[in-house]
Structure 1
Amino acid sequence: MALLHRAELRPSKLELLVPWLPGRSWFAGEAGAEVTRVAAYRFDDPAGEVGVETLLVRAGDGPVLQVPLTYRGAPLAGADEHLVGVIEHSVLGRRWAYDACGDPVYPPLLAAAVLADAGQAEEYFEVDGKREMRPASMTLTGSRTGRPVPTGPVSAGPVDGGGTVVRVGEVELAVVRQPVPADVPAAGGLTGTWSGQDEPVLLAYAR
């Protein structure tokens, strides 16, 4: 479960991506153009400390890009190269936003979604002491491979064929940065649909 806050963000998440995205080798679209949100999904950090959100966005009239992010209350040691930027959150204070592929919290959560269809986190707003569910903006479908979800050392590898490779133990996963409809590999995959995109697109897969 993800508990969200009705808060003011400076800069907003999308504003943060405007200067960051064009520097990525997988970027497509108009550099400096307005970044718009297409859909999004979240995973639950078991420790409840790190926000884990994947944004599907467009830069100008470009294709859909997949941007997994993590939000932390303090800098992540040794992860400067993965820092997207710093956000001032009116409720939580300063938050450090990272490319999730370089954050050790993210790969095990992605592995659970790809290999065991763990799904996305339910999102709630807390309003006047009551929790209101936020409708999901997209649907996720993972594989039920029967393989155990790996634990152990995690790492991020170089971009490979338009994706970013992350590893959890002995399992290697590819995050598709420009998701399009594609067959799910036999080793397992994660697909998504949203309003206006009825044909599932491949978001990530096991290699």
Structure 2
Amino acid sequence: MAIIHRATLSPSKPELLAAWLGGEVEVLGSFRYDDPAGEVGVEAFVVRVGGEVRHVPLAYRGAPATYDGAVPVGTMEHSVLGARWVYDGTADPVVQGCYARALAGEQEQAVMELWDAGEMVGVVPGSVVVRREGEGDAARLVATWDSGTLVVAGD
């Protein structure tokens, strides 16, 4: 399960995405995977940028990344967790491990628990549902939201 804190983020996720992607961003939805070690936040967004729908996976870390090839997106201040370093998930080994397990049928998208002041207060429904289609090398992950679908891995 992914823990979602009632918190203030500065900059907000849409602001961070807009700065990184270089323009106005419409967030169509998002989904998460759980890092088995519980250290890295793994969230992917489906966004519209300049008329194009894109899949944008991010990694949220509590300290600067130390792996080779890290692509920084920016930093943000989380009112509960403190400073968060945000990285492009397409280059992050934790994010890529989550996608590889999902493609293999070994990991499902995370259930998002809402926490407030140290207590779980509910479950947040996902705005994007990811399903696995196909088997083996033909497997792919398809994201579905209220207005569309997009292949986000495989194929």
TM-score, structure 1 normalization: 0.68
What is the aligned partner in structure 1 of residue 125 from structure 2? Answer: 135
Higher RCO structure (Cα 8 Å, ≥6 apart): 2
Confirm or deny: 8 A CA contact 2:133 2:142 kept in the other structure.
no
Report the structure number with the largest CA radius of gyration. Answer: 1
What is the aligned partner in structure 2 of residue 160 from structure 1? Answer: none
Superposition map of 1:81-92 within 5 A: 82-92=71-81
Confirm or deny: 8 A CA contact 2:133 2:140 kept in the other structure.
yes
- Alpha-carbon distance between aligned partners in 2 of 1:9 and 1:79, rounded to the nearest angstrom: 27
Match of 1:125 among 92, 110, 114: 114
Equivalent AA in structure 2 for residue 139 of structure 1:
V
Moved over 3 A (4+): 78-81
Report the Cα offset of residue 144 of structure 1. Answer: 5.9
Report the Cα offset of residue 94 of structure 1. Answer: 0.3
- The farther-off stretch of 121-130 and 38-47 is 121-130
Greater fraction strand: 2
- Alpha-carbon distance between aligned partners in 1 of 2:120 and 2:67, rounded to the nearest angstrom: 39
Unaligned runs of 5+ in 1: 23-31, 148-185
Report the Cα offset of residue 131 of structure 1. Answer: 3.3
Count of aligned pairs: 154
- Alpha-carbon distance between aligned partners in 2 of 1:10 and 1:80, rounded to the nearest angstrom: 25
Identical aligned pairs, as a percentage?
Answer: 42
State yes or no: 1:44 paired with 2:27: no
What do residues 114-171 of structure 1 show as CA deviations (whole Å, max 9, x unaligned)?
22163210001123623300011122111463x5xxxxxxxxxxxxxxxxxxxxxxxx
What do residues 37-62 of structure 1 show as CA deviations (whole Å, max 9, x unaligned)?
10111000011111000011123x52
Please tell me the root mean square deviation across aligned C-alpha atoms, in Å.
Answer: 1.9
What is the aligned partner in structure 1 of residue 99 from structure 2? Answer: 110
Unaligned runs of 5+ in 2: none
Equivalent AA in structure 1 for residue 77 of structure 2:
E
- Alpha-carbon distance between aligned partners in 2 of 1:105 and 1:74, rounded to the nearest angstrom: 14
Q: For residue 112 of structure 1, give the secondary structure of its aligned residue in structure 2.
A: helix
User: Residues 85 and 196 of structure 1: is their aligned pair in 2 closer, same or farther, counting only changes over 3 Å?
Assistant: same
TM-score, structure 2 normalization: 0.89
Q: For residue 116 of structure 1, give the secondary structure of its aligned residue in structure 2.
A: coil
Equivalent AA in structure 2 for residue 124 of structure 1:
E
- Alpha-carbon distance between aligned partners in 2 of 1:122 and 1:88, rounded to the nearest angstrom: 24
Confirm or deny: 8 A CA contact 1:117 1:143 kept in the other structure.
no
State yes or no: 1:188 paired with 2:139: yes
